[in-house]
Structure 1
């Protein structure tokens, strides 16, 4: 495992046990973001970097009982917290690195990634891997339950011009990884960028 992966694992391992209790009011924001994907019943979707699985219930409701919901995370402690919260009933939990997903090419209709972009060790390559597992015309949602400015304020830092989630930077990054950004919202209450896989 690379140093970048080890650092991500260590960061989230120490926070897994109380992650949900630290952010108890995010559920409606997750549901609203999932709704923006307009997933059809029977669709296949991956929650990439699923953490404690907070998106899984909304994803399951969107695709229905005939759909496939997968939650992949690099950190065992996060998946254990998801299981304790009962979210393994909403989707299949996978201990997996988004840089090398154990999924067939073109097997998914959509990927949902909450808080994901800031933790990707090689963003262009990692987004290209997410593209690989999505069918042509499939969707990607990059979400955070608060916007860039609110998150920076929470963390006591300033937004810098090289922020990957800035609209121009993200549009270019996605384009270079085989995606076309179709919408971008950065408000205090949420960040949501949607993209479609280019053929």
Structure 2
């Protein structure tokens, strides 16, 4: 297991049981971000780094009973918390690394990823893997329920100019990984970058 993966698991394992209670008001922001993906009934969607599965209910509502929802995470404790919250009813929960998904090429219509990019040991590799499993023209939403500046303030740090999620950093990272950024919003109450899978 890589050091990056071990670090991520340690970070989230210690927080899994109280994660939802710490952020009880994020539901509407998740629902709005899911709506921005433009999912249709019958679509196949992945919640990459699903954590406690807060996006799974709106994803299921968007794709309906005929659609497929898969939530993957590298931290067993987060998936247990998702199952205990009943979110396994909205999507299949799978323990796996986003950088090595057990899915065939072009299997999905869309990917939702909340807070994922900054936890990837190799962001370009992770984004390439997400591109591999999404059909050409499919969509990606990189989301966080607060913007970059608000998150930095919450964590007691300064916002670095070379931050991975800053638009001048993120746009070429996505482009080099098979995605074309179509919109970018970084406000106090949300971060949402949308991208389309190249053809």
Quickly name the TM-score band, shorter chain normalised: over 0.9
Match of 1:191 in 2: 191
Name the SS of the counterpart of 2:170 in structure 1: helix
- Any unmatched runs of 5+ in structure 2? none
Q: Write the mapping of 1:16-165 to structure 2, written as runs, cut at 5 A.
A: 16-165=16-165
Cα distance in 2 for partners of 1:160, 1:81 equals: 32
- Alpha-carbon displacement from aligned partner over 1:118-152 (angstroms, at most 9, x marks no partner): 10100001100000000000000000000000000
Aligned-pair CA distance for 1:168: 1.0
TM-score (norm 1): 0.99
Structure 1 stretches of 4+ with a deviation exceeding 2 A read none
**Cα distance in 2, alignment partners of residues 68 and 104 from structure 1:** 14
Cα distance, 1:162 vs structure 2: 1.2
Post-superposition Cα deviations, 1:47-90, rounded to whole Å, max 9, x if no partner, equal: 00000000000000000000000000000000000000000000
Q: What is the aligned residue count?
A: 199
CA distance in 2 between partners of 1:168 and 1:46 (Å)? 26
Unpaired runs of 5+ residues, structure 1, are none
Please name the residue that 1:179 is paired with.
179
